[in-house]
Amino acid sequence: MAATPATFVVLGSNSFSGATFVAEALADGARVIGISRSPEPDAALLPYRWSEPGSAGGLRDRFTFHALDFNRDLDRIAAVIGEARPEYVVNFAAQSMVAQSWDHPEHWYQTNVVATARLVDRLRRMDFLEKFVQISTPEVYGSTSGLVRETAPFNPSTPYAVSKAACDMNLQAYRKAHGFPVAFTRAANVCGPGQPLYRIIPRTVFCILTGQKLRLEGGGTSVRSFIHMRDVAASVPATVFPATSTTSPPTPTRRSARSSRKSAGSSAPGSRMRSRRPHRAWPRTRPTSLTARRRGQSSAGSRSARSPTWSPRRSTG
């Protein structure tokens, strides 16, 4: 029987990060279902729409989109996932603006904690799910200096960071109590084609091209490193298949660099403003060797590793 493409459900597919991930997954042969609360924006902001059906292999032929809201359409989202039976769900959906989270923190808690927790409680009963990848943030560690490891204690200092830390802790509890197959990435200061103009790098380029002055918030004294969004997308296969990934083991990174951190045991390749297309280990198809490959996977290398015959179970604690 012919192999079928691996299926991803991408929550928050309209976001810059989510849309870039969708484009990378489609380019590597996956079938993708995108879910976001708003209709698709202009194609200029959606990298996966830069290749239309019939061109470059018709990447969009393997993509479907649903405009559904985490807070209002939970039943419909669960129905879409249940019908598609994806191996992988990648969650980019979140209220993500840091400063604005002080204005209405309850909105951040509702979306990032309550709505996500309600969805995860549905997903843990879906035994076809191989991995749930939570796109988190290094903001959960708060203000730090020097080297920071993934195991550093959470110390959030904004409503946004508190909401993401609470979401991560809830997912960790579900993994311990129910064997929920979660893995995390924590990357910030991403950049790449299609990023909205209010972000510093595209805004700088726009000001240069139009001869305008660039306003720097905070006096222009901040120092930041950036990671290309394609590098972040390339890190996700390491969370799905940590035993077969060729990326390097995790190493400490500086807080200012905000490098990608994953509970699956390997670090994303990334450096300042890198735009190369890195090696990936995407599951192009749903291979017959997947189960055997996972049977040979040691849980010592991944906090989120689990048996290939995983099914939800009651908490014993």
> Is residue 316 domain-resident?
no
Q: How far is CA 177 from CA 155, 204, 262, 302, 312, in A?
A: 24, 47, 20, 17, 9
Residue 310 covered by a domain: no
150/138 Cα distance (integer angstroms): 9
Task: Compute mean pLDDT per 10 residues along the chain, 317 residues long, and list them.
Answer: 79 95 90 96 89 57 93 96 96 91 95 96 96 94 82 94 97 97 89 90 94 84 84 80 46 38 36 38 44 35 33 32
Residue 308 belongs to a domain: no
pLDDT at 59 (0 to 100):
66
The answer to whether residue 312 sits within a structural domain is no
How many domains does one find in the chain? Answer: 1
pLDDT of residue 28: 84
Judge whether 79 lies within some domain: yes
Residue ranges making up the domain that contains 191? 7-301
- pTM beyond 0.85: the answer is no
Evaluate whether residue 85 is within a structural domain.
yes
Q: What is the pLDDT of residue 198?
A: 87
CATH code: domain of residue 273: 3.40.50.720
Is 251 a member of any domain?
yes
**Does 307 map to a domain?**
no
